[in-house]
């Protein structure tokens, strides 16, 4: 007969064995799941990095291609400007009417602009917006009158700008009488057009005006047409650096005939906001 407090040998060990086994199995399963999850996350992140790297390489290649296209476009643009300069020189060489009566150089083949250089006894009538080349009394007279229509604005295709008539007279009999005579040359140009913002004010007027007047070192008279009242006021400091004299508004220059030894009609824009070195 056994006592109530007597423990049967081996009963406690048999009851705890299955529980311990289950705990070990659960811990192994969780560890395996965690390992698989870490491997999965690693693979996903690696693939994303590869994809991003590949996309970056593609983007880099695209930028290199775009940069190459831009460089090629810039080179083509420079080549085009050089071609136009060559054409301009050829045109100038073939468009000179010169002898003792004076000289007219008409340049119409510029990409943006056209100009006319008139040397000799040159008379400007602001009311008629005309420039006359008068032959000297000792010079050989032309058999007939010749005329050119010049767009004085730097963009010759812009509408709304009144053209200047340049006339080579056959003799001095029909020439207008000078009311004011100058010893310095003049540059005749127009405002209007696309002006009214800083880009076109500089690109279309001020930079071409600098190109036309820089050789005179301030000893040049500016003749302006199609002007806006605000323009000479707004850019007075710049104009003062280009000329030593007040700008003449031809639109308000009634009953005056101004005479010069040389007049440049129109200004030449070589490129957008730029100058081609000569």
pLDDT tens digits, 190-229: 998 888 889 999 999 999 999 999 999 999 999 999 988 8
- Over residues 147-173, the mean pLDDT reads 91
Task: Write the pLDDT tens digit of every residue in 227-257.
Answer: 888 999 999 999 999 999 999 999 998 879 9
Question: Can you spell out the DSSP letters for 59-124?
Answer: HHHHHHHHHHHHHHHHHHHHHHHHHHHHHHHHHHHHSEEEETTEEEEEE---SS--EEEEEEEEEE
Instruction: Kindly provide the b/e burial profile for residues 118-143, where b requires at least 16 CB atoms within 10 angstroms of the residue's own CB.
Output: bbbbbbbbbeebbbbbbbeeebeebe
For residue 170, report the phi and psi dihedrals to the nearest 5 degrees. -70, -25
pLDDT of 54-107, one tens digit each? 444 434 444 454 344 434 444 344 444 444 444 344 434 434 444 445 788 988
Residue-range domain boundaries for the chain: 95-265
- Quick one: what percent of the chain has pLDDT higher than 90? 40
How high is the pLDDT of residue 7?
46
At residue 34, the pLDDT reads 72
pLDDT over threshold 60, residue 276: yes
**CA–CA distance from 142 to each of 80, 102, 136, 235, 253 (Å)?**
38, 11, 11, 42, 29
Tokens 């020189």 belong to residue: 89
């Amino acid at each position: 007969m056994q006592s109530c407090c007597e423990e049967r040998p081996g009963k406690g060990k048999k009851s705890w064995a299955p529980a311990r086994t289950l705990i070990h199995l659960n811990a192994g399963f969780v560890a395996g799941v965690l390992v698989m999850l870490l491997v999965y996350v690693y693979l996903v992140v690696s693939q994303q990095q590869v994809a991003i790297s590949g996309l970056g390489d593609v983007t880099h290649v695209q930028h290199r291609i775009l940069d190459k296209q831009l460089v090629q476009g810039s080179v083509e643009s420079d080549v085009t400007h050089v071609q136009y300069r060559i054409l301009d020189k050829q045109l100038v060489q073939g468009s000179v009417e010169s002898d003792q009566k004076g000289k007219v150089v008409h340049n119409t083949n510029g990409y943006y602009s056209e100009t006319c250089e008139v040397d000799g006894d040159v008379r400007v009538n602001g009311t008629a917006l005309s420039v006359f080349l008068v032959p000297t009394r000792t010079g050989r007279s032309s058999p007939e009158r010749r005329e050119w229509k010049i767009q004085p604005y730097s963009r010759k295709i812009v509408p709304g700008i009144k053209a200047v008539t340049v006339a080579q007279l056959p003799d001095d009999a029909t020439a207008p009488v000078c009311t004011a005579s100058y010893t310095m040359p003049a540059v005749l140009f127009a405002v209007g057009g696309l002006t009214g913002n800083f880009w076109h004010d500089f690109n279309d007027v001020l930079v071409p005006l600098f190109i036309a007047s820089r050789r005179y070192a301030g000893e040049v008279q500016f003749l302006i047409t199609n002007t806006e009242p605000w323009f000479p006021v707004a850019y007075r400091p710049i104009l003062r650096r280009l000329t030593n004299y007040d700008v003449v508004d031809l639109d308000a220059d009634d009953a005056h005939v101004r005479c010069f030894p040389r007049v440049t009609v129109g200004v030449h824009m070589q490129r957008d906001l730029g100058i081609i070195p000569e």
